[in-house]
Amino acid sequence: MKTLRQIFSWVIPVVIGLILALLIRQFLFQNVRVDGPSMLPNLVNNERAFSFKQSKIHRGSVVVFNADGVDPQVSTKTDYVKRVIAVPGDTVKSQNGNLYVNGKKANQSYIKMDQRKAGTGNWTLKSISKQNNWVRNAGATKVPKGEYFVLGDNRTVSNDSRYWGFVPKNKVDGVVKVGFWSKNKTRKYNVNQFWKHYFAN
């Protein structure tokens, strides 16, 4: 009997700990590992960050989402990390290195001019949806209800909404935040707080 009590004395705390960890992961936050160069210079390959599930998604927020069912080339659960450029109801246009959301110029100080110009291209939602043969929402002029338009910061290499369309809200796992351990204040701000100054003055 004493042995049984001793077993339960360590088994129960372990079980409770596992349940709490699963609940936190499911409903609050989880660790995210950045894979690839598509978010350079603000998130680097193999960088660790947090994904907060209850955080509100803004224009300029960096999000992690399951690309299965979003990117036609993906058939298993695969996490993509991208920046939200436009939210439901928005129009988007790219011209000469500038992004215009609802006709207003977006602040893109989080990337250099060559990334804005050489990487982004000139388009409207309607033109890229037809040019890249989107499976869903071909010919769209606005971001549909419950969906987001996302781009990687490193536009020349990023596989993003330009090529396959919008990200449904139910595919978004959370808003990405860089932790206290990041020593680069500019990159940390560009991920965690840039959304507060999304439009150019």
Q: Which residues are catalytic?
A: 38, 82
**Cα 162 versus chain centre, distance:** 14
Name every residue whose Cβ is closer than 8 Å to that of residue 180 and which is 6 or more positions away in sequence: none
CA-CA distance, 40 to 51, in Å (whole number)?
18
Q: What is the rounded CA–CA span in Å between residue 189 and residue 43?
A: 11
Residue of 26, 125, 43, 109 whose CA lies nearest to 81? 43
Structure tokens at 153: 């910061």
Q: How far apart are CA 70 and CA 179, in angstroms?
A: 28
Provide, for the chain, the percentages of residues in helix, strand and coil under a 3-state DSSP scheme, each rounded to the nearest 5: 30, 25, 45
Contacts of 9 (CB under 8 A, 6+ apart): none
